[in-house]
Structure 1
Amino acid sequence: MAKKFGDLIYSPEVAAGEAVSKVETHTPKIEAPDEVKAGEPFYIKIKVGPHPNTLQHSIRWIEVYFEEEGRAFNPIMLSRIHLEPELVEPEVTLKLVLKKSGVIYALEYCNLHGVWEGRKAITVK
């Protein structure tokens, strides 16, 4: 039977077997404040690695989503960044403006080790 796509995404909590050794180098790290003011811009940074950046082995894209508290249909896709091997490092900065609390999710795709997820809760005051 086919798995749900979500079951194919790795995260530190579900990595098993050989994937455990890839957690540190593949889980997207989200740098963001724990708390922000409603309607005021702030920055988040998502980075992956240290990780190789060759044609044979590299991070090819990063997607960023927001699960907004109380929203009927989540998540909201905030950004998708294509990364060209050898030319672009897997690190992006976004300027956000939130009205409600929620969770930022970052997904990255490694051409050898699949899709990995990182997340961070942000409280809006």
Structure 2
Amino acid sequence: MGRLGDLIYTKEKEEKVLGEKHTPFIDAPDKVGPEETFEVTVVVGKEVPHPNTIEHHIKWIQVYAREDDRPFNPIHVATFDLGPAYGEPSVKFKMKLKKSSTLHVIEYCNLHGLWEASKRIEVG
């Protein structure tokens, strides 16, 4: 029996075109102040557009924060449910952090499974 983590793909582990279509791109500042509200944009298929049809689409995007020195991680930040055909796999939201953290974004493609990307954000 495998672990769920074994089923999560990354751009580094998969073929180039498949990875470019599926790996979430995270646009957020590298550094913010404590409790400062900042904007995060997540796009799936930034380099190569991902299809958005009933047969092949991004179903959801989830965002987690792994906070430094926190005994239990990750912190669930947001979940975005996406429908096929009309929407695009791109979301924008605001958040804040108390401590330096790594954002982890996981998305689900109905044909190609779970894909992950991460971004470090320093607080100080």
Say whether the fold is shared (TM-score over 0.5).
yes
**Residues 53-94 of structure 1: per-residue CA shift (max 9 Å, x gap):** 000000010000000001001001111111010121111111
Aligned pairs for 1:79-90 within 5 A: 79-90=78-89
Aligned residue number for residue 101 of structure 2 = 102
Match of 1:95, SS? strand
User: Structure 1 residue 13: deviation in Å?
Assistant: 2.6
| Partner Cα separation in structure 2 for residue 77 and residue 88 of structure 1 | 23
Match of 2:17, SS? helix
Aligned pairs for 1:6-45 within 5 A: 6-15=5-14, 19-45=15-41
Query: What percent identity do the matched residue pairs reach?
Result: 48
| Partner Cα separation in structure 1 for residue 78 and residue 23 of structure 2 | 17
CA RMSD for the aligned pairs? 0.9
Pair 1:56 & 2:55 matched? yes
| Partner Cα separation in structure 2 for residue 21 and residue 52 of structure 1 | 13
User: Structure 1 residue 36: deviation in Å?
Assistant: 0.5
**Residues 13-64 of structure 1: per-residue CA shift (max 9 Å, x gap):** 322xxx4431111000000000001111000000101100000000010000
Q: Please tell me the residue identity of whatever aligns with 2:21.
A: T
**What is the aligned residue count?**
121
Match of 1:98, SS? coil
Aligned residue number for residue 112 of structure 1 = 111
Gaps of 5+ in 2: none
Q: Please tell me the residue identity of whatever aligns with 2:24.
A: P
| Partner Cα separation in structure 2 for residue 12 and residue 81 of structure 1 | 21
| Partner Cα separation in structure 2 for residue 12 and residue 85 of structure 1 | 23
TM-score, normalised relative to structure 1: 0.93
Aligned residue number for residue 75 of structure 1 = 74
Please list every run of at least 4 consecutive aligned residues from structure 1 whose deviation after the TM superposition is greater than 4 angstroms: none
Q: Please tell me the residue identity of whatever aligns with 2:44.
A: V
TM-score, normalised relative to structure 2: 0.94
